[in-house]
Amino acid sequence: MNILAVVSGEFGRRKARIIRDHGPQQWTVHEWVAPMHFPIVIDDPVDFLPSKLEPADLILALGEHPGICELYPDIAKMTGATAMIAPIDNNAWLPKGLMNQLRAWMKDVGVFCVFPKPFCSLTETSYSLRGQRVTYDNSLISEFAKYFGMPRVSVTVDADGKTLATVTVERDATCGAVRYIAENIVGRKVDDAEYEAGMLHHHYPCLASMGIDNDYNDTLLHMSGNASREAFAEALKPYRQVMYFKPEGFVE
């Protein structure tokens, strides 16, 4: 799969680097650095594009300015891409109204889009969380989501059953947070690991927005942190002791 990551700041560059370093070897990941400043009205998007871009199957829309959205239809035409992932980790970069416009623009040029909010809510069949969850069917995006998106890990424990021995990252967040947690949580107590995973996520740090998101009534940073913590909670289930409270006078 050929991927074009459209970036404009360090957040996008980090994601492109993680995907390039830890994605399948048969993937090719190119970057194009978009402008950071745009006029209020863009007369011709071509004025802001290079003369040539590498061919791509999938576009990762990682720009950190809303003006970049007007460039994506022409980027798709230049690269031949048929699918695009436009994550929302900060509403200032892709407000909801602009997201709906972008979906229509890309449909007009034959490109299927998903808009995971946050990026680490993407799975092979859906994106976003809670009541905002949307299902989709696209083979390119599903292939990408096997490796990056909603965190998924597996673990083993030491012989005493109390300490984490290994952590395998089955699906990383595109920012690399899950890999960071996995590398730093080995050796922690099983009963503390879920909490520790949440703390390590914040220490990484995740760069998702700290502003309250109206769809979730929570910050996207907290939503992404919960996704990482819940991935470890799920993996730890077989090894955690369940404590039952028996009231005084209880009879079997």
179 and 92 in a common domain: no
- The domain of 71 spans 2-115
DSSP alpha helices (H): ranges in 93-159?
A: 96-108, 139-145
Mean pLDDT value across the chain: 92
- Mean pLDDT over residues 134-153, rounded? 98
Query: Nearest CA to 230 among 184, 193, 180?
Result: 193
97 — pLDDT class (breaks 50, 70, 90): very high
115, 142, 162 — which closes off a domain? 115
pLDDT above 90 for 131:
yes
The CATH number assigned to the domain holding 54 equals: 3.40.50.720
Q: Distance between CA 29 and CA 1 in Å, rounded? A: 9
The per-residue pLDDT for 40 is 72
Domain total in the chain: 2
pLDDT above 80 for 237:
yes
- Identify whether 103 is part of a domain: yes
Q: Distance between CA 8 and CA 32 in Å, rounded? A: 8
Q: Distance between CA 221 and CA 212 in Å, rounded? A: 9
- Identify whether 121 is part of a domain: no
Q: Is 242 exposed, middle or buried (0-12, 13-18, 19+ CB in 10 A)?
A: exposed
The per-residue pLDDT for 250 is 60
110 and 14 in a common domain: yes
115, 130, 165 — which closes off a domain? 115
91 — pLDDT class (breaks 50, 70, 90): very high
- Mean pLDDT over residues 140-160, rounded? 96
92 and 164 in a common domain: no
pLDDT above 70 for 249:
no
Burial 103-137, CB ≥16 within 10 A → b, else e: bebbeeeebbbbbbbbbbbbbbebbbbeeeeeebe
- Identify whether 146 is part of a domain: no
- Identify whether 93 is part of a domain: yes
Q: Distance between CA 184 and CA 179 in Å, rounded? A: 9
The residues, any chain, with a CB within 8 Å of residue 50's CB and separated by 6 or more, are 32
- Identify whether 221 is part of a domain: yes
The per-residue pLDDT for 245 is 55
pLDDT above 90 for 149:
yes
pLDDT above 80 for 55:
yes
pTM of this prediction? Answer: 0.91
Taking the alpha carbons of 233, 236, 237, 241 in that order, is the dihedral positive or negative? Answer: negative
pLDDT above 80 for 90:
yes
109 and 7 in a common domain: yes
Measured in residues, the chain has a length of: 252
- Mean pLDDT over residues 120-125, rounded? 98
Three-state DSSP at 234 gives helix
168 and 98 in a common domain: no
100 and 51 in a common domain: yes
